[in-house]
């Protein structure tokens, strides 16, 4: 998320559109790890 902020604004500047992009990046980045980790332990988020 911090790298996205720096790339978009050139520094630590929070604007509403940058926050939205940062949150999306922060959500998508760990998805593969979380998927494999849940699969390894046989956990299901729906049950």
- CA-angle at 31, arms to 15 and 39, nearest 5°: 160
What is the DSSP annotation of 20-35? HHHHHHHHHTTHHHHH
Nearest residue to 4 via CA among 25, 31, 20, 33: 25
- Which pLDDT score, from 0 to 100, does residue 28 have? 92
The pTM score is 0.59
- Which pLDDT score, from 0 to 100, does residue 45 have? 67
Low-confidence ranges of the chain (pLDDT < 70): 1, 45-47
């Amino acid at each position: 998320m911090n790298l996205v902020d720096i790339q978009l604004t050139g520094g630590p500047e929070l604007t509403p559109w940058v926050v939205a992009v940062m949150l999306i990046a922060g959500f998508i980045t760990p998805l593969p790890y979380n998927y494999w980790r849940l699969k390894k332990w046989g956990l299901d988020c729906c049950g």
